[in-house]
Amino acid sequence: MTLAETPNYKNSSNPFLTLNYESALESLGDDYYDEVAAAEFPQHILRWRNDALLPRLGLDPQAVTDEDFIIAFGKFQGRKPLLALRYHGYQFGEYNRQLGDGRGFLYGQVRASDGELYDFGTKGSGRTPYSRGGDGMLTLKGGVREVLAAEALHYLGVRTSRCLTMIETGLSLWRGDEPSPTRSSVMVRMSNSHIRFGTFERLHYLQRPDLTKKLLDHVIEQYYSHLSAQQDKYVLFYAELVERFAKLAAQWMAAGFCHAVLNTDNMSITGESFDYGPYAFIPTYDPYFTAAYFDYYRRYCYSHQPSICKLNLEMLQEPLKAFIDKGDLEAGLASFDEHYYAEYSSLMLRKIGFEQLPHLEANELVNLTVEFLQDSQVGYHQFFYEMARTFSSKWRDEPGFVLNNSDIVPVPGASAIFDNWCILYHKILNGLDCDRIDVIAQTLAEQNPKTVLLRPVIESTWEAIAQEDNWQPFYELVKQIQSRH
């Protein structure tokens, strides 16, 4: 049955069913997906609606009821086909062909008011041909954690998918990594695309260059449309993908974020960050901080993120090499480091208060800051927040005034580097015009919110839900994140 033939679709008063759906992926043909049915749940309790996203869909939040969310994204009424996407991927370095949407599907693709095509992808909506031994479900805590991660990252300037809604579904689930039985949810993610590196890897594995080319053309047409008319569009696409991932890795690093599972099935072909499982924001600057308890060899630890992205991009060359010369692929990948360092440096500089500084000075300051954070083990986010909170024009007068009213206390072994940092910061401020001071204060405040999604913050928010079904701390936390407090 096509969408137009689906009962109630045309006459629906549910605003989610009358959006501008396009069947971009569906029209590629069924080599890329399987049609699936959604699970039926015993309960539907709307726990989260992301009203901030509705205007982008051309919807007025006031005009959308909770029931509209539940009908569309908890009961999945009125939309067909629901497509479980096929993909493979390298998981912790091992090729896995038993992947694919095992607990989700593509609910639909919508042309939003910004002109972009967005996927609504579910997580926790039931079993599919790719579920293997899994139950096809998402825990409520998993849903809460992904909502929080996506919002936090978005407001920290990371290019990320967002969660449109999360609905509690009334099942009891058993998980090894949560006290069980544990509650269930279904979440709908709004992302640029759910096409992954692993989608290409599967087609290469199946030795189907024809399907790879069709997908590549589709990706360029939809997500790199400015390249569509170029003669060397494939070469330019790969170079731009490298640039997008270099920037994304820099954004994660500056945000102090460890994604935790950078398998190639979690790498979006649009260069957008998505799929938040065991992620964590780093408490202190520890290059080897590892967020997933099952990442025994620290493969996806905090500081490995740029090199892992690069490695995944290199592995993506396999399916692409039928269409792009080896030299062009190598040249594309070789630009990763330059893009990465330029972006990281600029983001870190902004966290320290500066939009721009002369190159050498910028490098010196960023390097010394990172060195200090690593040596002192002062809280990564605390340091920047304290800068924002206590910044004063007095810091221009003497190095001793820099951060002197803050809660930053360097550990004994780090006092020399802290002093050096204060001296350098004072020197830079001192060389600037007075009228730059207000701009620095503003930049510091904008870049370094007080609310940080550290693990204890998430855990205490979750405990209120788990123990008393109290959702207030969760809503408060999202509100603080969204208002950049």
Which residue in the set 184, 266, 376, 451 belongs to the binding site for ligand AMP (CB under 6 A)?
266
The reply on whether position 14 binds Mg ion by CB under 5 A is no
Instruction: Provide the residue type at 459 as one letter.
Output: E
Tokens encoding 167: 């609905």
Active-site annotation holds for 60: no
Nearest to 237 by CA among 208, 271, 203, 263: 271
Instruction: Provide the residue type at 226 as one letter.
Output: H
The reply on whether position 276 binds ligand AMP by CB under 6 A is no
Question: Phi and psi at residue 196, in whole multiples of 5°?
Answer: -115, 170
CB-wise, 164 or 261, nearer to ligand AMP? Answer: 261
- CA–CA dist 106, 108 (Å, integer): 6
- Which element (helix H / strand E) includes 171? strand 162-173
Which residue in the set 119, 243, 275, 295 belongs to the binding site for ligand AMP (CB under 6 A)?
275
Smallest distance, Å, CB 326 to Mg ion?
30
Question: Phi and psi at residue 291, in whole multiples of 5°?
Answer: -90, -30
The reply on whether position 202 binds ligand AMP by CB under 6 A is no
Q: Which stretch binds ligand AMP (CB under 6 A): 99-107, 221-229, 368-376, 447-455?
A: 99-107
Cβ neighbours of residue 116 closer than 8 Å, sequence gap 6 or more: 192
- CA–CA dist 89, 267 (Å, integer): 9
Residue whose Cβ sits closest to ligand AMP: 134
Q: Which stretch binds ligand AMP (CB under 6 A): 47-55, 129-137, 240-248, 307-315?
A: 129-137
The reply on whether position 271 binds ligand AMP by CB under 6 A is no
The reply on whether position 312 binds Mg ion by CB under 5 A is no
As beta bridge partners, residue 281 has 257
CB-wise, 184 or 251, nearer to ligand AMP? Answer: 184
Q: Which stretch binds ligand AMP (CB under 6 A): 97-105, 163-171, 252-260, 404-412?
A: 97-105
Give the SS3 label for residue 398.
coil
Cite the DSSP H helix spans in 434-471. Answer: 437-447, 455-468
Nearest to 273 by CA among 188, 186, 192: 192
Residue 136 per-residue DSSP state: S
The reply on whether position 165 binds Mg ion by CB under 5 A is no
- CA–CA dist 415, 424 (Å, integer): 14
For residues 238-274, b (16+ Cβ closer than 10 Å) or e, as one string?
bbbbbbbbbbbbbbbbbbbbbbbbbbbbbbbbbbbbb
The reply on whether position 386 binds ligand AMP by CB under 6 A is no
Which residue in the set 14, 266, 345, 376 belongs to the binding site for Mg ion (CB under 5 A)?
266
Q: Which stretch binds ligand AMP (CB under 6 A): 126-134, 152-160, 227-235, 471-479?
A: 126-134
The reply on whether position 168 binds Mg ion by CB under 5 A is no
130 binds, options Mg ion, ligand AMP, none, Cβ within 5 to 8 A by partner type? ligand AMP
Q: What residues make contact with Mg ion under the rule CB under 5 A?
A: 266, 275
- Give the residue numbers marked as catalytic: 265
Q: What residues make contact with ligand AMP under the rule CB under 6 A?
A: 99-103, 130-131, 134-137, 261, 266, 275, 277
